[in-house]
Amino acid sequence: MADTKIIVNCETGEVTELELTAEEVKQREADAIAYAKAKADEEQAAAEKAEAKAAIAERLGLTDAELALLLG
């Protein structure tokens, strides 16, 4: 069965279930790809930041706990 959408008309109370249009299906697929990319990009940026922080801590001779304390 094709994916559908539920539409509740707030003026009439009528509820309809319609098949997604080709455009809506395409948009949904694009949204999924865009989400995965955005999340991956943010996770990579966070990982790179953590790595840079660890490198600085190592140069300063600080433990993770000491660094966390400093950064509050």
Chain residues binding other proteins by CB under 8 A are 1, 3-13, 15, 17, 20, 28, 31-32, 35, 38-39, 42, 46
Exposed/middle/buried for residue 53 (C-beta within 10 Å: 0-12, 13-18, 19+)? middle
| Cβ–Cβ < 8 Å for 35, 21 | no
Q: How far is the CB of 52 from other proteins (least distance, A)?
A: 17
Give 8 or 65: the residue with its C-beta nearer to other proteins. Answer: 8
Q: How far is the CB of 3 from other proteins (least distance, A)?
A: 5
